[in-house]
Chains A and B, each alone.
Chain A
Amino acid sequence: NAGVMQNPRHLVRRRGQEARLRCSPMKGHSHVYWYRQLPEEGLKFMVYLQKENIIDESGMPKERFSAEFPKEGPSILRIQQVVRGDSAAYFCASRETGTGGRGYTFGSGTRLTVV
């Protein structure tokens, strides 16, 4: 049973370009979370999704950022018109329904560098 798969592992974008980060949750997991980690900091919650629904997007910047988790396929975190401050590690995590009391499984992260 493969773990949470994130790709790409590393992504370099020029200012103004779009970044698309993909996350395939563990098989059977229908809850997906995205977190951002700035250098030397802890993880900050961005968005929580279930299949086809955004449950909590309280941590998402109001502009340029969007997320989806379609019925088929991976969850996508999309950053439009990237700026240098978007450079960070973006982690995806997933869990099964009813296991909210346990640790969820993280992917290896996508390191975004904006040049």
Chain B
Amino acid sequence: AQKITQTQPGMFVQEKEAVTLDCTYDTSDPSYGLFWYKQPSSGEMIFLIYQGSYDQQNATEGRYSLNFQKARKSANLVISASQLGDSAMYFCAMREGGTNAGKSTFGDGTTLTVKP
């Protein structure tokens, strides 16, 4: 079974508007972390935001926020006030286990295009 599912292969958003990128996950481990990464056309992987399974509040980092709905096993990324530079591939990932956790599992990604 897919551990991380990103159902939107591509998304378009108008500049300055908000956009939500979907991510659902599957795990039976009570301790896990959820991450979003951005991969621009240049290819590097840029860490955006992290949500721990025990965190009570949704994570926020500047214009990025993570809409964490634990019961639904979803961890959607919300980008507010989109900018042209936000056009990139976005990956959702999950790491199971505690502070000595190892590998992460990545979704297949969503390509976001911001239109002027």
Residues on A close to B: CB < 8 A? 33, 35, 41-45, 48, 55-56, 58-59, 89, 91, 93, 98-106, 108-109, 111
Contact = CB atoms under 8 A, between A and B. Distances in A.
A99 B99 contact: yes
Given A100-B95, A101-B33, A55 B43 contact: no
B102 interface: yes
Given A108-B43, A111-B43, A56 B102 contact: yes
Contact of B100 (A42, A44, A100, A108): A100
A45 B44 contact: no
Interface in B60-114: 91, 93, 95, 97-109
A100 to B, nearest CB: 4
10 contacts: A33-B104, A35-B106, A43-B45, A45-B105, A100-B33, A100-B99, A101-B50, A101-B99, A103-B47, A108-B43
Interface residues of B, number: 27
B35 interface: yes
Given A41-B108, A106-B45, A109-B45, A101 B98 contact: yes
A33 B47 contact: no
B107 A42 contact: yes
Contacts of A33: 102-104
Contact of B47 (A44, A59, A105, A108): A105
